Chains A and B, each alone.
Chain A
């Protein structure tokens, strides 16, 4: 394969107004304009979206999967951040 490959882009699609863009997959394209066009053809053939973002994959920084446990554990220790942590009188309403 003598040809250089086009860069990889991550594709995000907003399914409809009021929802946030969600990651749907990735594709190769020479530039952002072509990436958008390809994303439209590849990921919205059946009206799956009203808006598309494309982001060069290399521009996405990510947390290290190996550090998963220590990195995310603190939040799980803090049960008191969740509403179900609190015990309230049975008869109370509207809380």
Chain B
């Protein structure tokens, strides 16, 4: 008999781990697993969790300036969801034997990353719509296969997240549709937002398959079930007809339907921009981390008060 908090060992039962993978069964926290599998999952789930809570910032920027009470209530609910997604994912990472505090420290100190997309600014209200449609849309395409990934707690968190993301994408599309069919300047604002978010959204799928450093092992471990380029292509194919219905153009002169495959060919992605943003030189990298560190520091008295209250009550009983 053991307790729930004990994690499985890294050695000894490697064959059992392989059997689970081969049978397409889920690996659970207390199963023995290779150290590299554990480390890869911690890195990926932590990065994912960090992305959720950093992702609250660009949209939070528009909470007080939403154009109507309806849009404001929707945006509040969405930003609250992102916090919730972060919490599901931190809890999933913790089942691998890492603490919440270590993960937040790693984010604050820049030792762990978050998605580079959140280092772009939200310059106009239309950016909120574009993020919902494109950024959440790309996230959904990335995340749906993760609901079947080999690590149980991660897969379960992704099921909840995907159900909730669907609202995020639809509200964004609706908002963008309203702007695109509004006044001339509203239409122009929607187009400008799409022009700025399209390419960074394509970068969300990560480097091209030939240059991806983590892909092959993750595929063997059934953490990653489709390649970066495959998912990116799926996203482009979904977006092109959606953009037509919006009445907005996607900013890619090379975008065209390949009659033979029924898929859309797209232009060259500027990977030097991706690398620069990832390395810390995006428009908002410093601002995002500063804000996160400040929020954590400013929340400290609340955590201390809760701990003091617990001690007081324990003393009284």
Q: Which residues of A are at the interface with B, using a C-beta cutoff of 8 A?
A: 1, 3-6, 8, 10, 25-28, 30-31, 34, 41-42, 45-46, 57-58, 60-66
Q: Are A28 and B307 in contact (CB under 8 A)?
A: no
Q: Which residues of B are at the interface with A, using a C-beta cutoff of 8 A?
A: 1-5, 8, 13, 28, 30-32, 77, 80-81, 84, 87-88, 91, 94, 99-102, 104-105, 156-157, 160, 164, 300, 303-304, 306-307, 309-310, 313
Q: Indicate which residue in A5, A57, A60, A63 contacts B99 across the interface (CB closer than 8 Å).
A: A5
Q: Are B3 and A60 in contact (CB under 8 A)?
A: yes
| Cross-chain pair count, CB within 8 angstroms | 76
CB distance from B100 to the nearest CB of A (A): 6
Q: Are A45 and B84 in contact (CB under 8 A)?
A: yes
CB distance from A79 to the nearest CB of B (A): 21
Given A3-B300, A5-B99, A66-B32, the answer on whether A58 and B81 have CB atoms closer than 8 Å is no
CB distance from A24 to the nearest CB of B (A): 8
- 8 closest pairs, A vs B, by CB? A1-B101, A30-B310, A30-B306, A65-B30, A60-B4, A31-B310, A26-B91, A57-B4
Add 5 more A-B contacts to A65-B32, A66-B8 (CB < 8 A): A3-B300, A26-B94, A30-B310, A31-B313, A42-B87
- If over half of A's interface residues share one DSSP class (helix, strand or loop), that class is named, otherwise mixed; here it is mixed
- If over half of B's interface residues share one DSSP class (helix, strand or loop), that class is named, otherwise mixed; here it is helix
Q: Are A62 and B101 in contact (CB under 8 A)?
A: no
Q: Are B1 and A58 in contact (CB under 8 A)?
A: no
Q: Are A25 and B101 in contact (CB under 8 A)?
A: no
Q: Are A65 and B5 in contact (CB under 8 A)?
A: no
Q: Are B307 and A34 in contact (CB under 8 A)?
A: no
Q: Are B309 and A8 in contact (CB under 8 A)?
A: no
